[in-house]
Chain A
Amino acid sequence: MTAAATRSTAHSIVEASPRAKAFAGGLVILYAVITILPLLWIVATAFKSQSDAIAYPPKVIFEPTLEGYVNLFTVRTRQTPDFIAKLPPPETWYDKLVRKRDMVIAGPSKVVPRFVNSLIIGFGSTFLAVFLGTLAAYAFSRFRIPLADDLLFFILSTRMMPPVAVAIPIYLMYRQLNLTDTRLGMILLYTAVNVSLAVWLLKGFIDEIPREYEEAALVDGYTRLQALRKVVLPQAVTGIAATAIFCLIFSWNEYAFAVLLTSGEAQTMPPFIPFIIGEGGQDWPAVAAATTLFVVPIVMFTVLLRKHLLRGITFGAVRK
């Protein structure tokens, strides 16, 4: 029996008939289309004018405009048509767009600082988590550590904690340490949550690198640290990259801690997006524009991560 040759399909001699395959494919494509529709609607809404976005019935065909994006990035004030008429002609396309609605741009909105917060907190916590996680994972993979299983369970269980439950004492602790609403506080917090995933994932990746490579390096007179740096790390680089992206996605998407522990200075995108208010209620095109910008990196990473997705969501225990 040639198991290796037939591994690609589960039913090798029970290979599905072309009709069954077409039927399965049709259903899956139908489901995928239903999945993607809400996202496409949001991307489309970002290019609608405010009146098109709240039209009844909802508009599928509309004239695209960048108003949503302009509204997202600016704060505007309403002026009388007379006032607008007296102004010098608009210098830029976005000034023009805004003046059509009898408004002038008063200044930038808060979206850029929020986005920058997301980037700093995301990358900062990812870097720290991956750094600490790599060290710990290497130790768990290569050395005999007393109570290793219990420690690993402890590390994993911290990720299972309900954020709303631990937010109270963390809030009190951060108030004492002057860490509330600071980037540092959020970086430390997200590092703590991410490090559990990093340890579990990276341990799996390092376990797969044969020990013989290091043994050989040690024989050649390398120290453990040199062997780690020059032999193990280069081989674990794909795993480390995948782990980093998973950590980044987590801190990028996190909402509960962000909404409970930040109010301004260190606020990230997820708590900010729902509160983009325009004149007379929620400015849906601007909200949709923010959502689109926020989601684009995630979509790219998902495509990149396809192969590692399963590992990432099961803490490295299940492999494809």
Chain B
Amino acid sequence: MDTMTTILQPDHATIPGVSTPAKSRAARRVHGLSDRAIAWLFVAPTIALLLAINIFPLIWMIRLSFTNLNLSMSYLPLRFVGLDNFRDILADEDVWFRLQTTAQFVISSVTLQVVVGFGLALLINRQFRGHSFWTTIILLPMMLSPAVVGNFWTLLLQPQIGPFNHLISLFTGVPPSSFSMTGQVSLAPWTIVLVDTWMWAPYVMLICLAGLRSIPDYIYEAAEVDRASAWRQFWSITLPMTVPFLMLAVLFRAIENFKMFDMVNLLTSGGPGSTTELVSISLKRAAFEKWRTGYSSALAIILFVTVFGAANIYVKTLNKVKQR
């Protein structure tokens, strides 16, 4: 019946006054707006908001990055300085040092989180009694505000009054007030890695768990028939099949850690000295303490381009995971 109508009157649907079966496109237009108008009407506000609050400022920032604007000295005439800001940044050893600090933090933090997260996922996948209760507890930290987490870890890590140092001394015998996790150059970077892992290893765990559960049973059954050892099964089935999910976790954590600001700002605020000064912290200092707006805009663009590139890979990985 349906095919009949389309064969008989393929183009007549748009002729005014001709009533066609309700399922055809014309009928929808008769009652209310056309699909196309609705599609645009529905998408437009979101796009408009994002253009106003993301793209417009971004363009403004690009313009500012070519100027000498300093908000604490805004009486100075605005001068276009071309690529000077970018040249200054790339020639500044300090900036390279910050990038290096950030890279070290990203690499060590993500590595630790993947090891802990994947390990936990393998354990939880055994589905022992009460596993969902314990999983929920493990997932709590990543739902908290990084700023609040940074703040309360500051208390926990106080050398004198914090419980952390006392716990360490209980196991190692090192006097609790002899070391400071956030105040010592040798320890501060590791403290950030530690707290970040406490917070985000559950994230990696959750994604790995999804990866593990996506492996069809029959593969393991076949491996069992072939008498593959548990070790062999892990290396040739479990690991390769969770890799896309692991990639997703690694990428997302790398992006987030690269732009990390809140937790570090409260935990060490870049110190001691500048041992934990990540790019975003020094960007905040340049923009909101020294008010070097032109310079910091240029730095922001470098940061932004890096994150945008990573975001691109993230979406490709997402789509890959989605296809499975």
- What is A's interface to B at a CB cutoff of 8 Å? 1, 3, 6-14, 16, 20-22, 24-25, 27-29, 31-32, 35-36, 38-39, 41-42, 45, 53-58, 132-133, 135-136, 138-140, 143-145, 151, 153-158, 160-170, 172-173, 188-189, 191-192, 195-196, 199, 215, 218-226, 249, 252-256, 259-260, 270-271, 273-274, 284, 287-288, 291, 294-295, 298-299, 301-303, 306, 309-310, 313-315, 317-320
Beta-carbon contact of A270 and B129 below 8 Å: no
Interface residue tally for chain B (C-beta within 8 Å): 120
Which of the residues A58, A133, A143, A156 comes within 8 Å of B166, measured between beta carbons?
A: A58
Q: A24-B128, A160-B311, A301-B143 are in contact. Are A315 and B64 (CB under 8 A)?
A: no
Q: A38-B198, A169-B58, A191-B49 are in contact. Are A318 and B210 (CB under 8 A)?
A: yes
Beta-carbon contact of B123 and A12 below 8 Å: no
Beta-carbon contact of B161 and A53 below 8 Å: yes
- Would you call B221 an interface residue if the criterion is a C-beta within 8 Å of the partner chain's C-beta atoms? yes
Beta-carbon contact of B161 and A145 below 8 Å: no
Beta-carbon contact of B248 and A314 below 8 Å: yes
- Would you call B83 an interface residue if the criterion is a C-beta within 8 Å of the partner chain's C-beta atoms? no
Beta-carbon contact of A132 and B45 below 8 Å: yes
In the bound complex, how far is the Cα of B146 from the Cα of A14, in angstroms?
A: 40
Beta-carbon contact of B53 and A260 below 8 Å: no
Beta-carbon contact of B288 and A260 below 8 Å: yes
- Would you call B57 an interface residue if the criterion is a C-beta within 8 Å of the partner chain's C-beta atoms? yes
Beta-carbon contact of A58 and B163 below 8 Å: yes
B102-159, CB < 8 A from A: 120, 122-132, 134-148, 151-156
In the bound complex, how far is the Cα of B228 from the Cα of A138, in angstroms?
A: 47
Which of the residues A9, A139, A170, A288 comes within 8 Å of B152, measured between beta carbons?
A: A288
13 pairs of residues in contact across A and B, judged by CB atoms under 8 Å: A10-B217, A25-B126, A27-B123, A35-B141, A39-B141, A55-B161, A140-B43, A153-B312, A157-B311, A173-B57, A310-B207, A313-B206, A318-B318
Beta-carbon contact of A168 and B287 below 8 Å: yes
Given contacts A31-B138, A170-B57, A172-B57, 20 further A-B contacts (CB under 8 A): A6-B217, A14-B224, A14-B230, A24-B124, A28-B124, A54-B161, A157-B308, A162-B303, A163-B259, A164-B287, A165-B304, A169-B64, A169-B297, A255-B147, A256-B261, A273-B151, A294-B145, A310-B210, A317-B319, A317-B321
Residues on A with C-beta less than 8 A from B283 are 164-165
Which of the residues A53, A165, A298, A318 comes within 8 Å of B300, measured between beta carbons?
A: A165
Residue of A8, A254, A255 most packed against chain B (CB within 10 A): A255
- Would you call B255 an interface residue if the criterion is a C-beta within 8 Å of the partner chain's C-beta atoms? yes
B204-224, CB < 8 A from A: 206-207, 209-210, 212-213, 215-218, 220-221, 224
Beta-carbon contact of A160 and B54 below 8 Å: no
In the bound complex, how far is the Cα of B146 from the Cα of A259, in angstroms?
A: 13
**The 9 nearest A-B residue pairs measured at CB:** A25-B128, A169-B57, A255-B147, A253-B145, A223-B32, A162-B259, A165-B300, A139-B42, A143-B39
Residues on A with C-beta less than 8 A from B22 are 218-221
Beta-carbon contact of B148 and A192 below 8 Å: no
Beta-carbon contact of B23 and A136 below 8 Å: no
In the bound complex, how far is the Cα of B128 from the Cα of A25, in angstroms?
A: 6
Q: How far is the CB of B309 from chain A (nearest CB, A)?
A: 10
Beta-carbon contact of B155 and A139 below 8 Å: no
In the bound complex, how far is the Cα of B310 from the Cα of A162, in angstroms?
A: 12
Beta-carbon contact of A58 and B161 below 8 Å: yes
Contact flags (1/0) for B233-269 with A, using CB distance below 8 Å?
1000000000001001000100100110110011000
Residues on A with C-beta less than 8 A from B45 are 132, 135-136
- Would you call B85 an interface residue if the criterion is a C-beta within 8 Å of the partner chain's C-beta atoms? no
In the bound complex, how far is the Cα of B36 from the Cα of A57, in angstroms?
A: 69
In the bound complex, how far is the Cα of B315 from the Cα of A317, in angstroms?
A: 10
Q: A10-B217, A309-B206, A319-B210 are in contact. Are A58 and B54 (CB under 8 A)?
A: no
Beta-carbon contact of A160 and B307 below 8 Å: yes
Residues on B with C-beta less than 8 A from A162 are 258-259, 261, 280, 300, 303-304, 307
